[in-house]
Every structure is written in C-alpha cells, then in structure tokens.
Amino acid sequence: MSGTPSSAPITVSIRREVDPTRIAEATAWVQTGVNLASAHPGFLGSGWVRDGEDSHHWHMLYRFADEAALDAWEASSERAWWLSMGEGFVRSERTKRRTGIEGWFDEPSTETISVPTSTGATTVMVAPSPPRWKQAVSIWLGFFPVNLVFTYLMSPVPGWNGLPIWLRVLTTTVVLTPIMTYWVLPWVTRTLRHWLNR
C-alpha cells in the first residue's frame, strides 16, 4: 500500500469460493482465522456468512482500529500460516477495503453490516463507528493545541500579522491539515481508542 496509513477504523470485506465437499474443514478454518485476528492489537470485530446451506460462496468481514493495525495483522506469521492451511479448499478470493477515513464521514454504524447474498441480505456483527460527538471531540483535542502552537510560532514572523486574514487562514490550514491527518489524529485516535469504541 502506498502513502501514510489511515488512523481511523478500516473494514475489510472478503468473498471466498470454497470447495463444497470440504465445508466442515472450511468452517473450522474460518473460525480459526477469526480467533487469530481477535488476538491482534487493534482488532474491533468480525463476522462471516455463507450464501446458503449448500453454497460454496463465503463472505467475511473484519475491522481494525486503523490501517497500521490491519497491515500488522495482514503481514503477521499467524495469518500467513492460517492462509496456507486453507490452500487446499479455498479456490478463489476477492478482497475489498473500506478505508478508515471514509468511515469517519459515514453515519455512526449500527452493530451489523449487511452482506448481499444470492437469497437476499444477511447481517453480520461488527464494531460500530464512534458517534459523531466523540469524533468531534477527538478532532478538537488534536486541532486546538496544534493550531495554538502554530499561531504562537507565526506571530513573531515579520509581516505575518499584516497579511490579510484569508491568507493567514489559508496558510494555516494548508500547513496544519497534513499534520493533523498524518500525525496528530492517528495519535489522538490511538490514545482514545478504548473511549471511542465504548
């Protein structure tokens, strides 16, 4: 993956085609994967469903607190071992990521996600997004001190206070937005993770 990892929760959706003659093995294998993932830092929840009793299409969702935690799980030796155990009966796999930053702009989720199936929609349990007011508090806790420090640092700069206010605000936001996105908010959300997910 390129760029700096996102700091907000990220959900992965996986569709697998499983050998229909090895359903019992596949069921145990999927549950083992859930158990292994749940032991990793940043794990927020998961769920899996099949299209139907005789279906060989399986859907799995799992969610981590941020992209760094997800990347750590996906690069782990436990996951590599687990995937190797499924090579005999998993025929294909398709994965989609919903980036964490998109989740911050969603309505706070319920505790389920709907997975489309051939017979309709099935819901699986996932961890909810933080409510809007907690997101707002988290952003403010990061933005206020950073903005205050930047204002103090820029005040002595010759000519700064004489600039039009729109130019000062433009400069401030251009400088602070990447700082907030890549450093401050990841730190704030990691620090407040338990409160945000309560």
- Using the 8-state DSSP alphabet, how is residue 129 labeled? P
Three-class SS state of 14 = strand
Split at pLDDT 50, 70, 90, the class of 66 is confident
Q: Count the Cβ atoms, other than its own, within 10 Å of residue 142.
A: 24
Determine the pLDDT at residue 167. Answer: 92
| Whole-number Å distance between alpha carbons of 135 and 137 | 6
Q: What's the CATH fold of domain 10-101?
A: Alpha-Beta Plaits (3.30.70)
Determine the pLDDT at residue 128. Answer: 54
| Whole-number Å distance between alpha carbons of 198 and 130 | 8
pLDDT score of 119 more than 60: no
Q: Which of 4, 118, 3 is nearest to 58 (CA)?
A: 118
Cut 0.75: pTM above it = no
Top pLDDT among 102 and 65 is at 65
**Contact of 58 with 49, CB cutoff 8 Å:** yes
- Using the 8-state DSSP alphabet, how is residue 160 labeled? G
| Whole-number Å distance between alpha carbons of 88 and 118 | 25
List the domain boundaries for the chain.
10-101, 132-197
| Whole-number Å distance between alpha carbons of 45 and 47 | 7
Arithmetic mean of pLDDT, 171-195: 83
**Contact of 16 with 58, CB cutoff 8 Å:** yes
| Whole-number Å distance between alpha carbons of 182 and 8 | 11
